[in-house]
Structure 1
Amino acid sequence: MSKVCKLTGKKPISGNNVSHSNRKTKRRFVPNIQKKKFFVPETGKFVTLRISTNAMRTINKLGVYAYVKKLESKGIETGVKF
């Protein structure tokens, strides 16, 4: 499975491990992706999403329906069907 957040679009980025002697080797910074099931009271249905923990925090503040609508109003395609 890919490590991409369904809502925010966060994905792995590359960088360097830097040792004490300042040697650099390639590494990946992967986002903390979790599979989570949300209940949407506006539609009365459950939706399962693979999202980052950053998106989970925002959903806890706004609600999943309001957050997806906010992203869609900005022009970001989420692919979430209610």
Structure 2
Amino acid sequence: MARVCQITGKKTQTGWNVSHANNKTKRKFFPNLKTKKFFIPTTGEWVEIKLSTQAIRTINKKGIEAVLKDVGVQL
């Protein structure tokens, strides 16, 4: 499965390792993703979502139903 947040769309970025001698090699910056389960009270079911930690904070602030509605998921 791809390393992409299902809410914010954050994904792996590429860049360069730069040594003291200014040698450059390719590298990847991975997002901080966690798999988390949320209970949706209106449907009465649990949903497992792969999220970035920023998305988890947004869900804690707004609520799972408001965030899913903003993304476009119909409950």
Fold conserved (TM > 0.5)?
yes
Q: 2-side partners of 1:53 and 1:37: how far apart? A: 13
Count of residue pairs the alignment pairs up: 75
How far off its partner does 1:71 sit?
2.3
Q: Percent identity?
A: 53
SS of corresponding position for 2:8: coil
How far off its partner does 1:19 sit?
1.1
- The unaligned stretches of length 5 or more in structure 1 are 73-79
Root-mean-square deviation over aligned CA pairs: 1.5
For 1:31-46, list aligned pairs within 5 A: 31-46=31-46
| Structure-1-length-normalised TM-score | 0.81
Identify the residue that residue 10 of structure 2 maps to in structure 1.
Answer: 10
User: What letter is aligned with 1:21?
Assistant: A
Identify the residue that residue 29 of structure 1 maps to in structure 2.
Answer: 29
